[in-house]
Structure 1
């Protein structure tokens, strides 16, 4: 079989070297300008994700939810660690907490203004999950789980997915909110709401995954 793999590699390499890459001749206005005009938001990537490819985005959110549920299911039969080692030295704690504050602010910024500037719901959710992870490596795991249960984060995560699917279905059905003035915070119709919901869902899902892996695998 190794000769087959080698032949495939050589064929792909020859394709790259011999067959030229096709060039795309864009008419005026360009595709980016058309996407921006169609979605009503300056961030063309956000316009594509939450308008042109909204059907795909729905299933991306659902797949992320299933991944978190799968991790919980696979680890359910294992025994939690009796002792979890965490960062105890003061410099590491200060740096981690400072990093958590910065990334949390970045997450909020990306979630609220993701349709106006580079960023978006997925990036905002990752930044929020990073902030939670930085706090988790320097905090008591039971305290973190207590906050997770107290604020019913698991229910909030599932509700955010359901609300996102409902709003996305309404948008796909042809109903839309007023787009507002291009470049302002209240513009883009339903896109800013979808952006915030995705950020909220990804951050809470990351929180659940962090707690699971800390409980059963520890930090190191």
Structure 2
């Protein structure tokens, strides 16, 4: 049977090498069509937040469910004793990196519909900034800040607003697209981009707190 599997694998590779699938000849450019219909010059954002909006809605929901699952699975475990970094060099480097990641997150969140990146990348950059702060700060302080600014509430609000705006968009109602390339362009797409960035960043913050509390820094 091994020889049969090997022969089938080799035949598949030969097919990939010598029998490529030709690209279909279309009378129009897909990227140009997406840019024209969405009103944003970044075709990727147009696809994610307009053409594939159903998928994006459920990606946000799956991320939310994964955070709830982490809270549920770790709720019965004893907290771990956390030893964060204390040497000054590590603290300075980590907080410098956190500052850079936070600035990148803001840039991608605001201008993600105009340039490579987007809400998910912005949220990951924000989560990375929070993680770098976490390894150099007291977990009690970080959790106190999380509760002080009601991050969990804002995370839930961002999800609900995103779903409401997405449903309105899917129903066929859109804001004016504005001038392509301008910061305020693409109708509701910049708002969806910012909401995803907030959701992913705050969700990452919640997960970081959970794993530090129950698993430590490593």
The equivalent residue for 1:37 is: 36
C-alpha distance in 1, partners of 2:211/2:5? Answer: 36
State the TM-score, normalized to the length of structure 2.
Answer: 0.94
Deviation at residue 26 of structure 1 after TM alignment: 4.1
In the superposition, relative to structure 1, how do residues 53 and 213 fare at CA in structure 2: closer, same or farther (>3 Å)? same
**SS in structure 2 at match of 1:178:** coil
The equivalent residue for 2:145 is: 147
Q: Are residue 48 (structure 1) and residue 47 (structure 2) matched?
A: yes
- Per-residue Cα deviation, 1:95-115 (whole angstroms, up to 9, x for no partner): 110111111011001000111
Instruction: Trace 1:110-125 onto structure 2 (pairs within 5 A).
Output: 110-125=108-123
Instruction: Trace 1:41-80 onto structure 2 (pairs within 5 A).
Output: 41-80=40-79
Unmatched 5+ stretches in structure 2: none
- Per-residue Cα deviation, 1:23-54 (whole angstroms, up to 9, x for no partner): 233434x1111110110001100000000000
Of stretches 164-173 and 174-183 in structure 1, the one that deviates more from structure 2 is 174-183
- Per-residue Cα deviation, 1:168-220 (whole angstroms, up to 9, x for no partner): 00000011111111111111000000000000000000000100111111112
C-alpha distance in 2, partners of 1:73/1:3? Answer: 47
State the TM-score, normalized to the length of structure 1.
Answer: 0.94
In the superposition, relative to structure 1, how do residues 11 and 109 fare at CA in structure 2: closer, same or farther (>3 Å)? same
- Per-residue Cα deviation, 1:69-114 (whole angstroms, up to 9, x for no partner): 1111111111001x21211111110011011111101100100011
**C-alpha RMSD of matched pairs (Å):** 1.6
Deviation at residue 117 of structure 1 after TM alignment: 1.0
Deviation at residue 20 of structure 1 after TM alignment: 1.8
Instruction: Trace 1:155-174 onto structure 2 (pairs within 5 A).
Output: 155-174=153-172
1:191 corresponds, among 169, 177, 189, to 189
In the superposition, relative to structure 1, how do residues 12 and 74 fare at CA in structure 2: closer, same or farther (>3 Å)? farther
Aligned length: 218
2:87 corresponds, among 89, 95, 102, to 89
